[in-house]
Amino acid sequence: AHSLLTTKNCIHGPKFLIYVSGALSMWGDRMWHFAISVFLIELYGRNLLLTAVFGLVVAGSVLLLGALIGDWVDRNPRNKVAHASLFIQNISVTVCSIVLMLVFSYKQKIEQIWDGWLTVVCYTVVIILADVANLASTALTIAIQRDWIVVITGYNRGHLAGMNATMRRIDQVTNILAPLAVGQVMTLASNVVGCGFILGWNLVSLIVEFFFLSRVYRIVPALSVKPPMVEVDQAFLQSSTARPQSLTEGNCNSRVHLKEIANLPLCFRRFRWLVSTCKDGWRAYYRQPVFLAGMGLAFLYTTVLGFDCITTGYAYTQGISGSLLSLLMGVSAITGLMGTVMFTRLRKTYGLVNTGIISSCIHLSCLLLCVCSVFAPGSPMDLSLLINQPLLPDRSSIHWTNNTVLFDNVPSGTAPESYISIILLFLGVITARIGLWSFDLTVTQLLQENICESERGVVNGVQSSMNYLMDLLHFIMVISAPQPHHFGILVIISVLFITTGHTMYFLYAHKAKRKSHLNT
């Protein structure tokens, strides 16, 4: 009876509700991100142009609006932020799915209307809706995973580490299973059925997540308490010249200056407020004690050493089959889970800052295998070809198929002279995920513990912007050196960026330890 009561309490407890809500949200996100890239390729005649535009729009919008999203999260009640983000995200995906179903079903008729301009309108609507969904997803992630979890655990560092690790494990599992599920539906049925499947999932998920998050908000009274913020919108509209008082302590300074801009016209005041909020958000990020740790994590995004379309495309050119690649992705998910387990144990034994140092060393040590793969037998790297490479590669020399790049000059499935290079590469990438995810969780918790409550949203919004900025750099790298014999150079540049990121963390750790010694 006691065990039944404990189980019932766990199921109805806030942690379980957050895990289920998070799992549903992550599953929907992963399905959508996989499906939209495939849909855009299919729509544009198996050309990557639309996917590239979409990637640029998504990265650019988060880069520009990250601080504003975070500021909005800070200034509004937690339940309103979560519900609004959830509603906007799911409805955007639902409407986008309906548009895609119509385009796939009536593609030929649509192409004949307005001399084909209706097709362009449809593509634009799809990309805008998908981008809005991504922005809402960013807001929801900041709200739940960077704020709610901290409050739910009662600021207990051990419980916080456990919840962070569990959320990351859920993310790892859904990252593998969700694209597989929607991919099977699209393959066995059709793209229209795939859109319908995602549409149905989002509507059901919206209702369940809304109910679960509302319940969590009710049973954790601390969530309804939030540091009061100045209602800047109303102040601007009323042209108020009153000075806002500082309502937070420590580093949490007011981010608005109403007096200087009260006399400007409304549209200019709005624009000035937007610019000021972004600027002050970046300033708030810079003055955080964990600034170097956050920057270190962002630098890890400039890499080709992951299971994205770049690495899988290169693997195809080296004779690795699709089935073997999916198996390797599964193994990488397992090593990622091992990283989350290692994080909780290291943190308990050595403390959070030391866990980051150990994780960094493990990550860098494993990546040395990737560097060795560049010079190992079977590596296609040829530096002489890079010198003669035209500035813009001929688009006809590259085929794109369902997120995978296949090159004409190295046909898919062609066996290289030796498999040693590709084995070392994937051995390094897979084992490095243990250190990577442990390090990621370390920095995440450092941000949670060290950012004051009233700035938690804006600082995490800027962190998201930094992550997207560094991710954009890695795509620019690939565009600059797109052929398989250039991949070795990309590997070396990636390792240099990652080393720089970990060096930033070491500097942070050194400062943190010196500060703790001075305090004791």
Q: What is the pLDDT of residues 246-279, one digit of tens each?
A: 323 444 544 444 444 455 566 666 767 677 777 8
Render pLDDT for 389-410 as a digit per residue (tens, 0 to 9): 444 444 333 333 333 333 334 4
User: What is the model's pLDDT at position 363?
Assistant: 96
If asked whether residues 200 and 327 sit together in one domain, one would say no
CB atoms closer than 10 angstroms to residue 449: 14
Instruction: Report, as an integer, the average pLDDT of 206-228.
Output: 87
Q: 355 pLDDT band (50/70/90 cuts)?
A: very high
Handedness of CA 452, 456, 462, 465 (dihedral sign): positive
User: Is the pLDDT at 340 greater than 70, yes or no?
Assistant: yes
If asked whether residues 339 and 460 sit together in one domain, one would say yes
Position 197 in a domain? yes
Instruction: Report, as an integer, the average pLDDT of 120-135.
Output: 87
User: What is the model's pLDDT at position 254?
Assistant: 44
**Cα–Cα distance between 407 and 401 in angstroms, integer?**
11
Amino acid, single-letter form, for residue 193? V
User: Is the pLDDT at 189 greater than 60, yes or no?
Assistant: yes
Q: 230 pLDDT band (50/70/90 cuts)?
A: very low
Among residues 225, 257, 285, the one where a domain terminates is: 225
User: What is the model's pLDDT at position 123?
Assistant: 82
If asked whether residues 319 and 219 sit together in one domain, one would say no
Q: Are 249 and 39 in contact (CB under 8 A)?
A: no
**Cα–Cα distance between 229 and 254 in angstroms, integer?**
8
Looking up residue 212, the CATH number of its domain turns out to be 1.20.1250.20
DSSP at 302 = S
If asked whether residues 202 and 321 sit together in one domain, one would say no
User: What is the model's pLDDT at position 11?
Assistant: 63
Position 28 in a domain? yes
Among residues 204, 225, 246, the one where a domain terminates is: 225
Q: 124 pLDDT band (50/70/90 cuts)?
A: confident
User: What is the model's pLDDT at position 56?
Assistant: 80
Q: 322 pLDDT band (50/70/90 cuts)?
A: low
Task: Quote the domain boundaries for residue 480.
Answer: 273-385+417-519
DSSP at 246 = P
Q: Residue 400 CA to chain centroid, in angstroms?
A: 23
Residue 418 φ/ψ region, left for φ over 0, alpha for ψ in the -120 to 50 degree band, beta for the rest: beta
User: What is the model's pLDDT at position 39?
Assistant: 78
User: Is the pLDDT at 120 greater than 90, yes or no?
Assistant: no
Which has more pLDDT, 106 or 220?
220
Q: Are 143 and 71 in contact (CB under 8 A)?
A: no
If asked whether residues 172 and 317 sit together in one domain, one would say no
Taking Cα atoms as reference points, which of 494, 496, 501 lies closest to residue 475?
494
Q: 380 pLDDT band (50/70/90 cuts)?
A: confident
**Cα–Cα distance between 472 and 477 in angstroms, integer?**
9
User: What is the model's pLDDT at position 139?
Assistant: 92
Q: Of 142-146, 395-399, 439-443, which one has max mean pLDDT?
A: 439-443
User: What is the model's pLDDT at position 21?
Assistant: 92
Q: In this prediction, what percent of the chain has a pLDDT beyond 70?
A: 79
User: What is the model's pLDDT at position 432?
Assistant: 94
Position 456 in a domain? yes
If asked whether residues 325 and 182 sit together in one domain, one would say no
If asked whether residues 156 and 302 sit together in one domain, one would say no
Q: Mean pLDDT score of the chain, rounded to an integer?
A: 79
Position 396 in a domain? no
DSSP at 145 = I
Which has more pLDDT, 112 or 348?
348
User: Is the pLDDT at 244 greater than 50, yes or no?
Assistant: no
User: Is the pLDDT at 314 greater than 90, yes or no?
Assistant: no
Q: Residue 472 CA to chain centroid, in angstroms?
A: 12
Position 268 in a domain? no
Environment class of 1 (CB within 10 Å of its CB; exposed 0-12, middle 13-18, buried 19+): exposed
If asked whether residues 65 and 137 sit together in one domain, one would say yes
Position 478 in a domain? yes
Count of structural domains, the chain: 2
81-95, 354-368, 393-407, 477-491: range with lowest mean pLDDT: 393-407
If asked whether residues 179 and 326 sit together in one domain, one would say no
User: What is the model's pLDDT at position 5?
Assistant: 43
Q: In the beta sheet, which residues pair with residue 407?
A: 398
238-242, 351-355, 483-487, 499-503: range with lowest mean pLDDT: 238-242
Instruction: Report, as an integer, the average pLDDT of 16-22.
Output: 92
Position 265 in a domain? no
If asked whether residues 60 and 160 sit together in one domain, one would say yes
If asked whether residues 346 and 428 sit together in one domain, one would say yes
User: What is the model's pLDDT at position 185?
Assistant: 81
Instruction: Report, as an integer, the average pLDDT of 118-127.
Output: 83
Instruction: Report, as an integer, the average pLDDT of 425-438.
Output: 93
If asked whether residues 170 and 283 sit together in one domain, one would say no
Render pLDDT for 152-173 as a digit per residue (tens, 0 to 9): 988 888 888 889 999 989 988 8
Among residues 225, 246, 263, the one where a domain terminates is: 225
Amino acid, single-letter form, for residue 202? N
Instruction: Report, as an integer, the average pLDDT of 113-142.
Output: 85
Position 313 in a domain? yes
User: Is the pLDDT at 232 greater than 60, yes or no?
Assistant: no
Q: Are 276 and 256 in contact (CB under 8 A)?
A: yes
Q: Are strands 404-407 and 398-401 parallel, antiparallel or unpaired?
A: antiparallel
Q: Of 221-235, 271-285, 317-331, 491-505, which one has max mean pLDDT?
A: 491-505
